[in-house]
Structure 1
Amino acid sequence: MRSLPLAGALLLLLAGGCTSSSPDRNPQPGPSTVASPPTWTEPSDYTFVLERRCEGKSSLGTYRVTVTNRKVSAADRIDGRKIIGEEEIEVPTLAGLLQLADTAAEDGGRTSTRADPLDGHPLEVAFDVSETGDNADNTCFHITDYTPKA
């Protein structure tokens, strides 16, 4: 009956946790109280850096993107690589990336996104619409240097 002393110890710990604390203490968020990132609303004008790269694979391009009136006004390749044997992409806005992921999900594809915990803008967007689901056709984007224009 070793479980009886263990149960008693657990009861003591639980009872100890039920004591009141001083009202001036601010509780720190723990795993159960961490909120989801806020819902992101696309600003009219912003810049960001976009890299096409899935984990474990080499980069397929890095771009500095300028969005004006919610449309890409400039997308400059900044990785210094020449386009050889790969297709250049039409770089989307961040809202466009999220829409691509939504469309992939609606088509039965697997998607994943990760958002900035402070303002909710996307940090990573990935989707795979292949029928095999073996990640061979993953499309992955990493977003850095996001700067909304004031």
Structure 2
Amino acid sequence: MLLRKLPWAVALVALAAGCTSSDPSPAPAPTSAGSPPAWTEPASYSYVLSRGCDDAEPLGRYQVTVASGAVSATERLDVTSVVPSAGADEDLGPATGQTGEEIEAFTLSELVEMAETATDDGAEVATTYDTADGHPVKVSIDVGEGPECWSVSDYKP
């Protein structure tokens, strides 16, 4: 059975190899009329990341600082401190009305890469970009279990 599939696999690899280019420079991103300008991520910037598809009630809001192309600081903006009662031995975590789940913040280029990877993997992805400078402002990824959304605000290069 494997030997019958081998010629097809070889043909597929040959076809894919024929579609590659020896030019090492990346192909320009497709643009259309009215599309945002190409965005180049600065080495340092800050932004507010909101997780969740309901803008009125996000699951988490984070102030993210990027320095030298990597996340250097993250601060959760929507957490209220909970003081456990005397004698309580357990950590209650953040009181957000949710499970208190924390996420690892990412750079905006990592957010774009995540959307591109999800698209390549067959997920339904919607990405919105700022019309002035082209940075991502909203990404929604649905792999069939309901969408996961991230919104970007207060972007400061």
TM-score, scaled relative to structure 2:
0.65
SS of match in other structure, 2:104: coil
1:98 maps to 2:112? yes
User: Which 4+ runs in 1 deviate beyond 4 A?
Assistant: none
130, 139, 150: which one aligns with 1:141 = 150
The alignment's C-alpha RMSD in Å is 2.0
Q: Secondary structure at the match of 2:73?
A: strand
Task: State the AA in 2 paired with 1:128.
Answer: D
Aligned AA for 2:53?
A: C
* Equivalent residue letter for 2:48: V
Which digits, 9 at most, give the CA deviation of each residue in 1:46-81, with x for residues without a partner?
000010020378311000000011100001001124
CA distance in structure 2 between the aligned counterparts of 1:88 and 1:56, rounded to whole angstroms: 18
> Secondary structure of 1:103's match?
helix
Tell me the matched-pair count. Answer: 111
Unaligned runs of 5+ in 2: 1-31, 81-93
SS in 2 for 1:90: coil
Secondary structure of 1:41's match? coil
Which amino acid in structure 2 is aligned with residue 105 of structure 1?
T
Counterpart CA distance in 2 for 1:41 and 1:129 is 28
2:47, 2:132 → 1: CA distance? 16
Contiguous gaps of at least 5 residues in structure 1 = 1-32, 131-135
Q: Give TM-score scaled by structure 1 length.
A: 0.68
> How far is 1:86 from its partner?
4.1
1:111 corresponds to which of 125, 130, 135: 125
Separation in structure 1 between the aligned mates of residue 107 and residue 149 of structure 2, nearest angstrom: 14
Distance, in Å, in 2 between the alignment partners of 1:103 and 1:57 is 28
* Alignment CA distance shift 1:138-1:39 (3 Å): same
SS at match of 1:48: strand
Deviations 1:81-130 (A, max 9, x none): 42552421111111111111111111100001111111001110111112
